[in-house]
Amino acid sequence: MLAKKVPVLNVMIDSVDMTQAVDILEDYIEEKKTHLIATANAEMIMMANEDPELLAILNKADLVVPDGAGTVWAARYHGHSMPERVAGYDLVQNLCKRVAGKGTKIFFLGAAPGVAEKAKKYAEKKYLGINVVGVKDGYFSVEQEPDLIQTIKSVKPDVLLVALGVPRQEKWIVKYLNELDVPVAIGVGGTFDVMAGVVKRAPVWMQKAKLEWLYRGMLQPKRIGRLMALPRFVLKVCSLKKH
Ligand code: UDP
């Protein structure tokens, strides 16, 4: 299944809803060859416009889902169809739910020591039959990478979830994807933090009111500076001709 890609500030985003996105991931797992998946919110798109390496990675990625109300709004503002928001966290939950009990092997890489382990426990409780074959925190040195690669290769995951923050996680995946030979590698940002209960997701009413970005900024004051990416994103989108 091939989704239509539409441009949002130079980044090609797949026009997919959640069910289609998970269907595509299942196809990738079947296909066996490697695939890079990114979840593009306004902040990532702004970053890509200032980081040619990240932009090239996103535009070569197999699947880039519309993560965030801003991405969906911008695509529609320019006259493209974009069915719904596909948040990275929700994509991971839906994928876990879909593959639980099917033997699909998942590896959790990233977040602070102990967090991926807690996220694994959460997944095992919530998605009965899920097969998490390995976990490793995201605080390793370049010197430790060869061992880490061997560890991942030895368990042959079908899905590798990488939470090292944007853009490090996308660049890390591209660097090692062929060697790892993983059918599905997804950059998942703060997903393990939320699954582990270390960071709370915005209440549903705020998510529906498209205010999750504000909640995250309030909860993690170190993100306040990063929040400025959103108004800059809106201004940039509006400065382009509306369709
Ligand atoms: N992280 C990591 N190694 C690092 C830097 C960050 O594992 O060297 C983790 C961090 O603990 C967090 C995730 O990467 O779990 C990034 O989360 P954030 O919410 O910042 O995601 P983003 O907004 O970058 O997608």
Domain chopping of the chain, boundaries:
5-239
Terminal CA-CA length for the chain: 28
- State residue 233's pLDDT score: 94
- State residue 59's pLDDT score: 98
Average pLDDT taken over every residue of the chain: 94
Q: Is 119 touching ligand 1 by the criterion CB < 6 Å? A: no
Question: E strands along the chain, which residues?
Answer: 5-8, 11-14, 36-40, 63-66, 105-110, 131-136, 159-163, 184-187
Find where tokens 């997701």 sit: 201
pLDDT tens across 202-219, in order?
A: 888 988 888 888 888 777
What pTM does this model have? 0.94
Which atom, in ligand 1's list, is nearest to the CA of 39?
Answer: 25
What is the phi/psi pair of residue 114, to 5°?
Answer: 90, -20
Q: Whose CA is nearest to atom 21 of ligand 1?
A: 189
Q: Whose CA is nearest to atom 11 of ligand 1?
A: 111
Mean pLDDT to the nearest integer, 63-72: 96
Length of the chain as a residue count? 243
Rg of the chain over CA atoms, in angstroms? 17
Nearest to 140 by CA among 167, 117, 111: 111
Q: Which of 154-158, 215-219, 220-224 is the least confident region?
A: 220-224
CA of 178 from ligand 1 middle (Å) equals: 23
Are 99 and 26 a contacting pair, CB within 8 Å?
yes
